[in-house]
Each structure stands twice: as C-alpha cells, then as structure tokens.
Amino acid sequence: MSAADENDDEFTENTLVQAIENQLESGEPAFAQAVLNKLTLVGHEREESVQMMAMVLANEVDRMLREDRPFDAERYERLLRALPTLPDDNN
C-alpha cells in the first residue's frame, strides 16, 4: 500500500469517526447513543465502540454506493444494534 493510500484510509477513518461523534453530539439518530451505551455497558471502551460504529457507517455507505441507492437508515440502525457483531457483505 502506498503512502497516499494509507493517508486516504486514515482520512476516511477519521471522517467516519467524526460523523459518529457528530451523531452522538446532536442526538440524531437517537439510537446511536443507545448503541454506544450498550457497548460500553458490556465492557467496550468508548473509542473502540465509536470505531465499531464507524465501521457500520462505512458498510452502509459502501453498500449505498455499490447499489446506487439512498442511505438506508433502517439497515443502519439494525447493523448498529447488532454490534459488537460487525456487518459482512451478506447483511
């Protein structure tokens, strides 16, 4: 992997983490805070929990782009609530 690819990956990860932080700060969607609370209650550190949530967001955005469809908030909520089980290509 080139340095440019690594920088792109880091930028993408930081952007997704910031999107999750924005959701938590704004309280929208409300289920984001509920998921964070659940994950921390079962022993995950906050940073790890936010990163898992960002991975779910990345999965939904990727699927949205591949399928040329709008963001599916119901799928996003379902996948978030399934954490700490991460989505795969079949979800």
The residue ranges of every structural domain in the chain are 3-81
Percent of the chain surpassing pLDDT 70: 88
For 86, residues 6+ apart whose C-beta sits below 8 A from its C-beta are: 52, 55, 56, 59
Decide if 45 contacts 36 (C-beta within 8 A).
no
Q: How far apart are CA 71 and CA 57, in angstroms?
A: 10
Q: How far apart are CA 6 and CA 90, in angstroms?
A: 27
Sign of the C-alpha dihedral, residues 90, 84, 45, 34? positive
pLDDT 10s digits, 4-46: 566 667 878 899 999 999 999 999 999 999 999 999 999 999 9
Percent of the chain surpassing pLDDT 90: 80
